[in-house]
Amino acid sequence: MVRTASGIIQRIQAVSHRSREDARQVALEMCSRGPKSDAEAQALFDFNTRMNGTDLDWDSRFVRVMASYVLAREGANNALTQSNLDWLQERIVSGGGPRNRNLAGLFTRLFRKASQVPDGYGLVVLTHLCEQMVRDGRALDDMVEQIAEIVSRLGTEQAPWLSRAEAAILLRAHDQLEGCENDPAWNFLFSRAIANHLIASAHPNPHSERHALSRKHWLDQNDAHPGKFVGCLALGFDKGRWFEHIGHEAERARLARHAASLAAKRKPDAAPMRNVWWRKSPPPAAIPTASHALVDFLNREAPGLLAGLVVAAH
């Protein structure tokens, strides 16, 4: 261990039995010049565990400084190498303490700043963000904003829609957050992203409509009707081999197309009569959930699709 690293780490350890502010000042001193070794970086990780997201100034400094260190470590030259990613993940695991938001923020900043990242890194970042959101106990707007940024930047030119792996991560978070006091932004993101994945999965030939099925349309907050880009939706589910890629059974897909076509042509239920009592004392509005938002969005953008999906996936 170099003398500088040893000295600073010893100072952090020496003040560990005193106030956290003493240790904070030492850690900020290291941040001001940046860690010069893995040992110093480990000391910052250890201190970050102690802070546990209670100091906004520390949060921003730690994320910024540690991202710079990782992208320069072992001559990385601003690329996130697999070796440095493995090192980073090992630091997190070896820390042993509870993870805080700064670690999720660090993975996000690396995704933004790195000139190159390992294959699959976007899914790693998405997983960290969703797991942190679950640890928060609800979907907060700032975390949803970061998740939306990552999701919008994933995908390829050949398959720009939401992938099965991405959808699985969002669905896992949804299952753990359902019923929590989530920010409305989560309902919007979840419904748009999962709908994009489901329509692309059921589409007879999604590659023929890559532009229309691109996530950039489906996640655009200024586009209230992204389904209008998909030509097959206007033709109906009886035009084309819908649902063929879901169950891989021709007969099941045929039954799904039939169910979807019937549901699409069915008139919506009439609104219940509202008497004088209702106008004076209307029932309390139901708390919207991500599940409800998804169903409402699909019924509006692709009427009948849900009925077909149920049959195809049976």
Q: What mean pLDDT comes out for the span 120-131?
A: 96
Q: Per-residue pLDDT tens for 11-63?
A: 555 544 456 677 778 788 878 888 999 998 998 898 888 776 668 888 899 99
Say yes or no to pLDDT of 159 above 50.
yes
CA-to-CA distance for 159 and 207, rounded, in angstroms?
A: 7
Q: What does the DSSP 8-state code read for residue 287?
A: P
For 51-88, the pLDDT digits (tens) are 766 688 888 999 999 999 999 999 999 999 999 999 99
Give the other-Cβ count within 10 Å of 28's Cβ. Answer: 16
Take residue 175 and report the two structure tokens written for it.
């299952």
3-class DSSP state of 314? coil
Task: Please tell me the distance from the alpha carbon of residue 226 to that of residue 28, in angstroms, as a whole number.
Answer: 47
Q: Are 196 and 162 in contact (CB under 8 A)?
A: yes
The tokens describing 137, both together, are 């106990």
Q: What is the pLDDT of residue 72?
A: 97
Contacts of 298 by beta carbon, 8 Å cutoff, 6+ apart: 191, 195, 198, 305, 306
* Nearest-angstrom CA–CA distance, 262 and 255: 11
Higher pLDDT, 310 or 282: 310
In this predicted structure, the answer to whether residue 2 has a pLDDT above a threshold of 70 is: no
Of all residues in the chain, what percent carry a pLDDT higher than 70? 85
CA 248 to each of CA 17, 153, 218, 314: distance values in angstroms, whole numbers, following the listed order: 63, 30, 26, 12
For residue 60, give the amino acid letter. Answer: S
At residue 80, the 3 state secondary structure works out as coil
Distances (CA, A) of 3 to 9, 36, 42, 201: 10, 11, 15, 58
